[in-house]
């Protein structure tokens, strides 16, 4: 997916664009300050930790739950699994039969924490990602 997005960016966007925001079509609610919140980190790529609002029937109240499990830190198990696969196969998170035990950013949510806390990642999904574009003008 990253290669396809990079191809789209570099074949369609001109040199006066600074940032590109990738937002999945099923994201229906964001803060009004989403772009400012992400760009203030001044990193080449920033992925938001996305959550979903829902009504918890058991607790009888509105709640939130992790939504995007595609932002992760590599693990030894993940590396071993990747080394055992053919070159044209990929690992998709969330399936017990291909457990990687990668720490997932979605599991590090702290409702009382700073929303701007950074976590270094080895892989990002696509729910909400912003990319800094750097052009070299020759």
pLDDT, tens only, 8-63: 877 888 777 888 999 999 999 999 999 999 999 989 999 999 999 999 999 999 99
pLDDT, tens only, 82-106: 999 999 988 887 777 888 999 999 9
pLDDT, position 92: 82
Contact partners, residue 19, CB within 8 Å, separation at least 6: 35, 39, 130, 131, 132, 133
Q: Tell me the CA end-to-end span of the chain in Å, nearest whole number.
A: 29
pLDDT band for position 137 (cuts 50, 70, 90): low
**Cβ contact 70:125 at 8 Å:** yes
pTM of the model: 0.83
Largest Cα span, the chain:
61
SS (HEC) of 111-124: CCCCCCCCCCCCEC
Q: Which residue has the higher pLDDT, 72 or 97?
A: 72
């Amino acid at each position: 997916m990253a290669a396809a997005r990079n191809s789209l960016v570099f074949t369609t966007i001109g040199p006066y664009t600074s940032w590109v925001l990738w937002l999945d079509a099923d994201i229906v609610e964001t803060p009004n300050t989403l772009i400012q919140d992400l760009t203030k980190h001044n990193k080449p790529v920033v992925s938001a930790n996305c959550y979903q609002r829902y009504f918890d029937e058991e607790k009888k109240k509105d709640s939130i739950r992790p939504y995007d499990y595609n932002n992760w830190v590599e693990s030894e198990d993940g590396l071993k699994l990747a080394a055992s696969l053919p070159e044209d196969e990929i690992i998709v998170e969330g399936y017990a039969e291909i457990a990687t035990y990668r720490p997932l950013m979605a599991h590090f949510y702290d409702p009382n924490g700073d929303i701007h806390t950074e976590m270094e990642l080895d892989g990002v999904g696509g729910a909400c990602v912003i990319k800094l574009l750097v052009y070299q003008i020759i």
